[in-house]
Amino acid sequence: MALLLKHFGSAPTLNAHLQAALQKPILASAGGGASLPAVVTTSTPSAAVAAAAKSKPVDVAVIGSGVAGLTATLRLLDRGAKVALIDKEKRLGGNSAKASSGINGCCPDHSRSDRNVDDSIAAFAADTAKSAKREASDMIQLLVESSKSAIEWLLKRTSIDLTKMAQLGGHSYARTHRPSNGMIGAELVYALQREVKKFESSGQLQLMQGTKVTSLLQDGSGRVTGVAYEQGGAEGQLLVPETVLATGGFANDRTNTSLLAKHRPDLLRFPTTNGEWATGDGMKMAMAIGAGTVDMDKVQIHPTGFVDPTDVSASTKVLCGEMMRGVGGILVSPQGTRFVNELSPRDKVVEAQLETGADEFGLILNEAMAKEAGKHVELYTKKGLLTKVKGVAGIAEWMAGSSGVAGASDASALANALESSLAAYNAAAAQGRDEFGKVYFHNAPIPLNETLYVGRIVPVLHYCMGGITFNQMGDVLRTDGSVVPGLHAAGEVSASPL
């Protein structure tokens, strides 16, 4: 999936720590201008300082340790807050660690090139609104206007490499940033948690891994005052002035209180890219105290999840990132024919997949595409998810084989169809447009008799576009639109009527 960071405007209703941490990043680009407030030192504290910090009450509980939770935690810590970071898993990162394609943003100075020289905030907002199938709103404007400073903050605060750029589905320009040395999710989670953990020895950070939050606590006025939790078979409570939900979505919710079954029972048949932890816990807890929700039926199906030939029936698939089509990868049916503009928005690609009547599809890349994809292809090939073959004949033989695409034609028929499909694709690339409306043909042509890469893919549940309602300041809203005092949201758990 392409990774979006949600940032918020300053909020007078929050305490001083939370207000500063959740405001829009104000880092200047590499030319001067405003800068962040001074970062709190993370040098080894004296024994007295550490003891004082450890005895100080927790200011904020952040529930969930994906990119949204880690980012909120780090910004709070940098401004002196004492934070409890809670996750029901023993490992930090959540589904964010699985992200592979990058972070969308317009337009940090380092990312400008002839591929996006004409890109603008207006163009980014228009693309976002078009994909959302609604008019550009204040929330869309906030997202796109904050994207540059968000990326610049990440670069400065974590030193992550975001030098690679790609134009992915639904985007008019190359504005998706990723590392040159690995997958964006793993690299970003590693970089953020490294910085966050520097505060642990001082007592400013309280890490509560393997701890499941079971409910939100409230006082008589309805203000959220903390959380109840389970840890190692024991129950406990943590009382805090402010709580941030960053618990993700429900794209793998197969529980007896399944939000997926409630809102999209028709999607239960699809596998998912999400871990077993993606059960909508934060949404359920917020709804239990009256939080509103919006677009809960808007569950995104990603067009490309890898089928592992060694575990074909696995309900959780490895994500075949958007970037694999962004570098030029094409999709073919089990009969060897193209059927879609691979750079269309995800919903359009999935719609075309379903219209074929097939369950599985082939993904094809040439060597130029594989080179641009870099570590992604290396990893997928090592895992046996991509196979290196010789030309059209090699693809046909692989697709028709025991590890190939379900429902594939025999190798001879496939070879003929693939040769015709690739020849037509190459001709369209030379002309600048194909029958499906594709106008960007990165790393074309695809040679018919040279080294190619092929993978077996299926549509997969990937991301919840809806969630609990919140405002531009990150405050969770009740069903009547009023603020739930003491409760805030970040990342996939949250949503707004964009």
pLDDT at 9 over 50: no
pLDDT for residue 46: 54
Q: 318 Cβ partners below 8 Å, 6+ apart? A: 273, 305, 306, 308, 380, 383, 385
With a cut of 50, say whether residue 259 has pLDDT above it.
yes
Give the pLDDT confidence score for residue 74 in this predicted structure. 98
User: What pLDDT sits at residue 53?
Assistant: 65
What is the Cα gyration radius of the chain? 23
In this predicted structure, what is the pLDDT of residue 55?
72
Mean pLDDT of 324-342: 97
Strand-pair category, 293-294 with 242-245: unpaired
Q: CB–CB of 461/252 below 8 Å?
A: yes
Give the residue-averaged pLDDT of 71-94: 97
Q: Judge whether residue 78 has pLDDT over 80.
A: yes
- Asked whether the beta carbons of 421 and 332 are under 8 A apart, the reply is yes
Question: Whole-angstrom Cα distance, residue 464 to residue 134?
Answer: 17
Residues of the chain with pLDDT > 90, as a percent, come to: 82
Q: What is the pLDDT of residues 141-154, one digit of tens each?
A: 999 999 999 999 99
What is the per-residue pLDDT for 121? Answer: 95
Q: Does the structure show a pLDDT above 70 at 17?
A: no
pLDDT band, residue 8 (cuts 50/70/90): very low
Read off the pLDDT of each residue in 170-195 and give the average, rounded to a whole number. Answer: 93
CA atoms within 13 A on the CB side of 87: 23
* Pair 469, 483: CB distance under 8 Å: no
For 111, residues 6+ apart whose C-beta sits below 8 A from its C-beta are: 105, 151, 162, 165, 174, 175, 177
Nearest CA among 150, 243, 246, 136 for reference residue 468: 246
Per DSSP, what are the bridge partners of residue 489?
245
Total-model pTM: 0.86
Residue 92 has pLDDT above 60, yes or no: yes
pLDDT at 101: 87
Q: Rounded distance, CA 281 to CA 299, Å?
A: 16
- For residues 219 and 15, what is the distance between their CA atoms, to the nearest angstrom? 17
Average pLDDT, the chain: 90
Model pLDDT for residues 382-416, shown as the tens digit of each residue:
999 999 999 999 999 999 999 999 999 999 999 99
Q: Is the pLDDT of residue 280 over 90?
A: yes
Q: What is the pLDDT of residue 488?
A: 98
Given this model, what pLDDT does residue 49 score?
A: 54
Q: What is the mean pLDDT of residues 59-79?
A: 97
For position 133, what pLDDT does the model report? Answer: 83
The predicted model gives 2-27 an average pLDDT of 40
Residues 229-246, mean pLDDT to the nearest whole number: 97
pLDDT the model gives residue 7 = 32
Residue 75: pLDDT band by 50, 70, 90 thresholds?
very high
Dihedral-angle region of residue 254 (phi above 0 means left; psi in -120 to 50 means alpha; beta otherwise): alpha
Strand-pair partners of 103: 3, 177
Across the range 185-205, mean pLDDT stands at 97
Q: What is the mean pLDDT of residues 451-456?
A: 98
d(C-alpha 388, C-alpha 364), whole Å: 10
Cα 423 versus chain centre, distance: 35
Amino acid at 412: S
Say whether pLDDT at 482 is over 70. yes
- In Å, the largest CA–CA distance within the chain is 77
Q: Determine the Cα–Cα distance for residues 261 and 41; give it in Å rounded to an integer.
A: 47
* Residues assigned a catalytic role: 302, 325
Angle at 120 between CA 114 and CA 33, to 5 degrees: 100
Predicted confidence (pLDDT) per residue in 35-67, tens digit = 333 333 344 555 555 566 667 899 999 999 999
What's the 3-state SS for the chain? CCECCCCCCCCCCCCHHHHHHHCCCCCCCCCCCCCCCCCCCCCCCCHHHHHHHHHCCCCEEEECCCHHHHHHHHHHHHCCCCEEEEECCCCCCHHHHHCCCCEECCCCHHHCCCCCCCCCHHHHHHHHHHHHCCCCCHHHHHHHHHHHHHHHHHHHHHCCCCCEEECCCCCCCCCEEECCCCCHHHHHHHHHHHHHHCCCCCCCEEEEECEEEEEEEECCCCCEEEEEEEECCEEEEEECCEEEECCCCCCCCCCCCCHHHHHCHHHCCCCECCCCCCCCHHHHHHHHCCECEECCCCEEEEEEEECCCCCCCCCECEECCCHHHHCCCEEECCCCCCCCCCCCCHHHHHHHHHHHCCCCEEEEEEHHHHHHHCHHHHHHHHCCCEEEEEHHHHHHHHHHCCCCCCCCCCHHHHHHHHHHHHHHHHHHHHHCCCCCCCCCCCCCCCCCCCEEEEEEEEEEEEEECCEEEECCCCEEEECCCCEEEEEEECHHHEECCC
Say which range, 305-319, 410-424, 484-498, has the weakest mean pLDDT: 484-498
| pLDDT tens readout for residues 356-382 | 999 999 999 999 999 999 989 999 999
Q: Which pLDDT band holds residue 496 (cuts at 50, 70, 90)?
A: low
How deeply is 46 buried, as exposed, middle or buried, from its count of CB atoms within 10 A (0-12, 13-18, 19+)?
exposed
Q: Give yes or no for residue 191 having a pLDDT over 60.
A: yes
pLDDT for 349 equals 97
Residues facing residue 300 across a β-bridge: 463
- Measured in degrees and rounded to the nearest 5, phi and psi for residue 339 equal -145, 5
Peptide linkage before 108 cis (omega within 30 of 0): no
> 137: pLDDT confidence band, cut at 50, 70 and 90?
confident
- The amino acid at 449: N
Residue 104 banded pLDDT, cuts 50, 70, 90? very high
Band the pLDDT of 3: cuts 50, 70, 90. very low
